[in-house]
């Protein structure tokens, strides 16, 4: 096989609690093809590594379950194009189970008990624009990369408990509930207390240097973190970071 018929990538697998590196030659479907990372994983599973473990769902950037790292940065496997020499690895910010499969439920469990809206929406109650922006989140967890709060969580302890410290995703969920026009005022107070208990104050201290990126383009710093800080701590963040 000629070199221009394939591209070589490094796959970082996780097996028996250890990293294992495998070089894989992806056979291009045409001369100019630059495949998605998911194309590489599917072909590798079919041709060489039949027990390769990874997740994917919609293949249309709607579900977020296929998130992996490409060259150590979180990417959606179904939308991330790769080239010769690239490294594909499991997302580094969550505990690894096997190969590219990671344990995701420690984050979602943080939200247990925080959707106590007794009123049912009869479609006559409209939320504002900022609420609808947050509904585009696909739970890909790319926003965990670089988060100073999530770094405090112990990823080595694999259990069914929620993480102690928050992250941009869990705060987005809280902010969305806070903005929901059906959320009672008393419940909003509970939401802010929950945000504080997850370590929201850390963001206040590190706001200027905070670099978090959403996989689908939500402005997490301005649309999630900043308004939560303002409600929780008043104008302190505004004065400190002008």
* C-alpha distance from residue 6 to each of 25, 185, 219 (Å): 6, 59, 38
Asked if 87 and 178 sit in the same domain, the reply is no
Asked if 150 and 220 sit in the same domain, the reply is yes
The structural domain count of the chain equals 2
Q: How confident is the model at residue 35 (pLDDT cuts 50, 70, 90)?
A: very high
Q: What domain range is 220 assigned to? A: 105-240
Q: How confident is the model at residue 242 (pLDDT cuts 50, 70, 90)?
A: very low
Residue 158 has pLDDT above 60, yes or no: yes
Asked if 224 and 113 sit in the same domain, the reply is yes
Q: With 0.85 as the threshold, say if the pTM is over it.
A: yes
Residue 237 has pLDDT above 60, yes or no: no
Residue 199 has pLDDT above 60, yes or no: yes
Asked if 127 and 202 sit in the same domain, the reply is yes
Residue 151 has pLDDT above 60, yes or no: yes
Q: For position 112, what pLDDT does the model report?
A: 83
Q: For position 241, what pLDDT does the model report?
A: 46
- What is the rounded average pLDDT for all residues in the chain? 91
**Percentage of residues in the chain having pLDDT higher than 70:** 91
Q: Which of 102, 127, 146 is the last residue of a domain?
A: 102
């Amino acid at each position: 096989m000629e070199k221009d018929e394939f591209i070589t990538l490094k796959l970082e697998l996780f097996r028996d609690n250890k990293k294992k590196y495998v070089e894989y030659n992806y056979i291009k479907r045409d001369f100019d093809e630059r495949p998605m990372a998911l194309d590489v994983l599917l072909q590798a599973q079919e041709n060489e590594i039949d027990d390769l473990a990874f997740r994917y769902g919609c293949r249309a950037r709607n579900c977020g379950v296929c998130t992996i790292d490409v060259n150590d940065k979180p990417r959606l496997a179904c939308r991330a194009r790769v080239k010769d020499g690239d490294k594909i690895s499991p997302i580094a910010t969550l505990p690894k189970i096997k190969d590219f499969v990671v344990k995701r439920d420690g984050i979602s469990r943080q939200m247990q008990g925080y959707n106590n809206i007794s009123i049912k929406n009869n479609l006559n109650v409209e939320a504002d624009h900022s609420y609808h922006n947050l509904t585009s989140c696909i739970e890909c967890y790319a926003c965990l990369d670089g988060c100073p709060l999530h770094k405090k969580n112990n990823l080595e302890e694999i259990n069914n408990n929620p993480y102690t410290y928050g992250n941009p995703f869990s705060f987005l969920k809280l902010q969305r509930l806070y903005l929901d026009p059906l959320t009672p005022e008393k419940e909003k107070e509970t939401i802010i207390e929950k945000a504080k208990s997850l370590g929201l104050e850390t963001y206040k201290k590190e706001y200027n240097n905070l670099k978090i990126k959403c996989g689908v383009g939500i402005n997490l710093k301005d649309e999630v973190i900043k308004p939560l800080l303002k409600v929780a701590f008043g104008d302190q963040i505004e004065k400190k970071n002008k």
